[in-house]
Amino acid sequence: MSHSTSSALPKIAILASGRGSNFDAIADAVAQGKLAAEIVCVLSDRADAPVLTKASARGLRAIHVAPPATSAGDLDSRRRVHDQEVVTALRAVQAEWIVMAGYMRVVTPVLLDAFKVQSGDYSRVVNIHPSLLPAFPGVESYQRAFEHGCALAGVTVHLVSEGVDAGPICAQESFAIGECRDVAEIERLGLAIEHRLYPQTLQWLLHQNFKLVQHKERLSVRKS
Ligand code: GRF
Cα 52 to ligand 1 centroid, rounded to whole Å: 14
Q: Quick check: 5 pLDDT over 70?
A: no
Q: What pLDDT, in 10s, does the model give residues 98-157?
A: 999 999 999 999 999 999 999 999 999 999 999 999 999 999 999 999 999 999 999 999
Q: Residue with the nearest Cα to atom 7 of ligand 1?
A: 102
Q: Quick check: 3 pLDDT over 70?
A: no
User: Which residue is catalytic, options 3, 64, 82, 129?
Assistant: 129
Q: What pLDDT, in 10s, does the model give residues 15-73?
A: 999 999 999 999 999 999 999 999 999 999 999 999 999 999 999 999 999 999 999 89
Distance CA 123, CA 112 (A): 6
Known catalytic residue at 129: yes
Provide the pairing of β-strand 62-64 with 169-176: unpaired
199 lines ligand 1 (CB under 6 A): no
131 lines ligand 1 (CB under 6 A): no
Q: Residue with the nearest Cα to atom 14 of ligand 1?
A: 21
Q: Which atom of ligand 1 is nearest to the CA of 25?
A: 13
Of the CA atoms within 13 Å of residue 63, those in its CB half-sphere come to: 21
Cα 203 to ligand 1 centroid, rounded to whole Å: 19
21 lines ligand 1 (CB under 6 A): yes
Mutate to test the pocket of ligand 1, among 194, 198, 202 (most ligand atoms within 8 A of CB): 194
pTM for the full predicted model: 0.95
Q: What pLDDT, in 10s, does the model give residues 170-214?
A: 999 999 999 999 999 999 999 999 999 999 999 999 999 999 999
